[in-house]
Amino acid sequence: MNSQPPAASTETSYGEAIRAGFVHLLSSHREVFAIGQGLWSPWYVGNSMTDLDKLFGKARVIDTPVSELACTGAAVGAALCGYRPIVIHPRMDFMVLAADQIINQAAKWHHMLGGQAIAPVTIRAIINRGGEQGAQHSQALHAWFAHIPGLRVVMPSSVADARDLLVASVLCDDPVLYIDDRWLYERKAVLPAVSERPLAAEGPRVVRSGTDITLVGAGYSSWLCEQAAEILAAEGLDAEVIDVRVLNPFDPAVILASVSRTGRLCVVDGGWRNAGWAGEVIASVAEALDPRQLKSSPRRITLPNAPAPTSRMLEADYYIDAGHVAAAARTMLAARETAS
């Protein structure tokens, strides 16, 4: 059906790419269905699922009562019985109500039942923040979920990954938490032809090579790293950018190889600092690398340890932008100048 790539050189947005992933999955895999709040609404999930109910029918694209726990559990149950459901949480904060089914159930059944049960469910959580939405409508809880063995966690940053990691998640036999970010929806790129790749083979990827410093991000923060690298390049500083893509299970090999060359690591995380994901990346590098390979202390840029405020003045202080990342990198590189 609609899974052909668009004509060469026309750009696709991240939001449209997610939709292209759904179109591919629903057209070529009968066992796929989508369930969640807002699926019959033209505006609930941005442009990422527009009219899928009209294309594929309301039996396979299911809008639901306000029942996150039951809908997620129902998706897990259908997955145990041969389907590959995608349950959509239009906002990650609301998914917290479904935590039992994700953490205690989906993530555990394969292991605790001796490998006999599989729950190939994809849980799509959308990070949606800013705009004075406040503490309960802003959270990026990827670190929380990446803590759970048995639950794969992916965060697409590029337009192609928005589609292809969704496809890989759904075709994977494990439960996967796929986290996209409304701040990425207008990111644009030329979308190559869709390919079905095993999720287990996916992991961190160098998206820009450089020699002076390694910038690491996931999802939106990876895009910030790419923007910061542009800013730094204009100043003659050469940053390497790694998009982590898969937070759990986490394979730090690509990051280790990069930092052993650049000697500098800065991790950018849209989540909180304490017990957060950036700390995990830095710890993985610190324990594997000879300290003499580090030219400066690793650094993390995270949200402050505070709930999201509403007032625009406080919001402006709260969120990270590419300028903050570039400034941190500059400081780390300035240490080089004084040292040499």
Ligand X SMILES: Cc1ncc(C[n+]2csc(CCOP(=O)(O)OP(=O)(O)O)c2C)c(N)n1
Q: How far apart are CA 52 and CA 49, in angstroms?
A: 6
Question: Tokens 């699926």, residue?
Answer: 39
Residue 269, φ and ψ in degrees, nearest 5: -135, 130
Q: How far is the CB of 223 from another protein (least distance, A)?
A: 23
Instruction: Point out the catalytic residue in the list 29, 89, 110, 137.
Output: 137
Q: How far is the CB of 63 from ligand X (least distance, A)?
A: 11
Tokens read off for 85: 């459901």
In angstroms, the first-to-last Cα distance of the chain is 60
Among 7, 8, 59, 66, contact with ligand X (rule: CB under 6 A): 66
Looking at the Cβ atoms of 97 and 294, the one nearer to ligand X is: 97
Q: How far apart are CA 205 and CA 254, in angstroms?
A: 7
Q: How far apart are CA 254 and CA 203, in angstroms?
A: 9
Out of ligand X, another protein, none, what residue 69 binds, judged by CB under 5 to 8 A for its kind, is: another protein
Residues in contact with another protein by CB under 8 A are: 37-38, 40-44, 63-70, 93-94, 97, 131-137, 304-307, 309-314, 317-318
Q: How far apart are CA 144 and CA 271, in angstroms?
A: 10
Looking at the Cβ atoms of 223 and 272, the one nearer to another protein is: 272
Looking at the Cβ atoms of 67 and 209, the one nearer to ligand X is: 67
Count of residues that interact with ligand X, criterion CB under 6 A = 5
Tokens read off for 324: 């903050």
Count the neighbouring beta carbons within 10 Å of the beta carbon of residue 244.
Answer: 27
Cβ-contact 84, 34 below 8 angstroms: no
Q: Decide if 324 is catalytic.
A: no
Q: How far is the CB of 153 from another protein (least distance, A)?
A: 23
Asked if 8 is part of the footprint of ligand X (rule: CB under 6 A), the reply reads no
Out of another protein, ligand X, none, what residue 44 binds, judged by CB under 5 to 8 A for its kind, is: another protein
Looking at the Cβ atoms of 65 and 149, the one nearer to another protein is: 65
β-bridge partners, 103: none
Closest residue to ligand X in the complex (CB): 94
Looking at the Cβ atoms of 193 and 313, the one nearer to another protein is: 313
Q: Which stretches of the chain are DSSP H helices?
A: 14-28, 52-56, 68-80, 92-95, 99, 109-112, 142-146, 159-171, 220-234, 253-262, 277-288, 312-318, 322-339
Q: How far is the CB of 55 from another protein (least distance, A)?
A: 17
Looking at the Cβ atoms of 136 and 297, the one nearer to another protein is: 136
Nearest to 121 by CA among 196, 63, 160, 178: 178
- 3 state SS for 264-313: CEEEEEEEECCCCHHHHHHHHHHHHCCHHHCCCCCEEEEECCCCCCCCHH
Out of another protein, ligand X, none, what residue 43 binds, judged by CB under 5 to 8 A for its kind, is: another protein
Interacting positions 78-107 with ligand X (CB under 6 A): 94, 97
Out of another protein, ligand X, none, what residue 318 binds, judged by CB under 5 to 8 A for its kind, is: another protein
Which residues of this chain interact with ligand X, rule CB under 6 A? 37, 66, 68, 94, 97
Q: Active-site residue numbers?
A: 137
